[in-house]
Structure 1
Amino acid sequence: MKKIHPSITNREFKLLIKPKGLDRRSKITELSEQILKFCKKNKVDFFHLDNANTGLRNVYFYDTPGEEFRLNNIILRVRESRQNVWVDDYAEVTLKCRTHDMNKASQFNPSPQKKIKSRIRFKEEILRGDEIGSHRQIYSNNAILDAVPIDDLFDRSLSSVSKFFPGLAKLSIDKKSPLRIVGGSTNKILEACLPLGNLVFGDGVQAHCDIAIWMKSAGDPIVGELAFSYRVNDENRSPIKAHKRADKFFEKLQIELSQWLEIGSTKTALIYGKPE
């Protein structure tokens, strides 16, 4: 492994989990305890959270009828936080270019217009490879808007959303193209996200670990995703030993959890019904 590329701000490891039983707390406890034992066996410190609160939110994606965003490796995602049945008035909106080619991802500018506050993240996302115990990378260039009024998101057209994200106007897509929720307006996902704890791979390389459960509705899980991620900066970019340890942990974790793993790459790919 070479030094982490200077463009990368985050490394995120993801495993899809079979949906059966994920709506039961006992199943999540079983998974969490298995991870805890695995960490002890492999001498990786895991600061486990016993009483973390589960966050709920609606998740959905916008694209043109011909899925031209997807064909250009663009993802436009909305997350609406909610308290029980109540949806917040403000949403998190993310525009990202995600592709296997780092240079291609970096060439797209997801930044919103200057007056809109955003967080920019360039992520190396590590997924399982074709075989259990292997991995592959995809890269995503993200702009994240944290508090967008839901009622003022945008009109359902490319020209409207381009006012938020000028980079979209440079794509070779008809500016009059309508936008719609991928899969239709009933295809909003209910996501439950539970923090599991922190993994320590070395100095300055401490990853947040959580599980997200995607459901059509409460009690109807579609898929789970076990993920751990950490920030990359000038201070921790060079200690290759810690990053290698995270990579190795991810590969060995797949073998440990092989009975839990779902076939596929990302949750987004499942929504589109096409590989990513």
Structure 2
Amino acid sequence: MKRARVAYAGAIHAAVAAGNQLKLDDGRIVDETEVIWLPPVKPQTVFALGLNYADHAEELAFKAPTEPLVFLKGPNTFVGHRAQTRRPADAAFMHYECELAVVMGRQARKVTREDAYDYVAGYTVANDYAIRDYLENYYRPNLRVKNRDTCTPIGPWFVDKEDVADPMNLTLRTFVNGKLTQQGSTKDMIFDISSLIEYLSSFMTLNKGDIILTGTPKGSVDTAVGDEVVTEIEGIGRLVNTIVGDETFNIAESKQQAENSI
């Protein structure tokens, strides 16, 4: 089943797909364009993988890592389907990253690869933008590269594990303004889902709602203000996002400051 979280008529609702529409938890049927899409799950601890596709590592002239390259992401980075992502005015190179997001369904500690999927609740699509200008090196991405507000759209759907026959054989694609710019397959991950769960749970506890962003294949290109970026994963969903400039957010911030002063 495809599940979503949306805001509609002043309230937050759980929703499910109903053809080309949404069915809210109170039974109302609404059009997908009538709601504000929220991240389909509330992110808890979020683990992000760097260089987890060999072709992407090669694209960046790096050797593939011999153990998972993992960093953490804060909750303010996440926005929903059809949201806007801010491109800082000083950024010379800001690229998308289409990634399969794995959502944990229960607490996991010292889990073996063979049992790893027993702890998975389901999957969603993430677009984890990176601002290369701020990168020290690919083995140590600093906070300004990957933890900026609005830089990680996620959604639109949370798809139950049982509805995805083989998460390690899904096609990933990215389109910028309708043009295909990235294509790959989850089968090309260096460290697959079960390996990542085994690795992470070997030294820390994973909890329900934790998310693992599993990396991106080659094909990441620069984006510009005004671009519509669509990241899609076979059987999971099609996530739409728009790049905006600082001025859009400065206007919003000015309005908020004026309201606070009243």
Considering the TM-score relative to the shorter chain, is it more than 0.5? Answer: no
* TM-score normalised by length of structure 1: 0.28
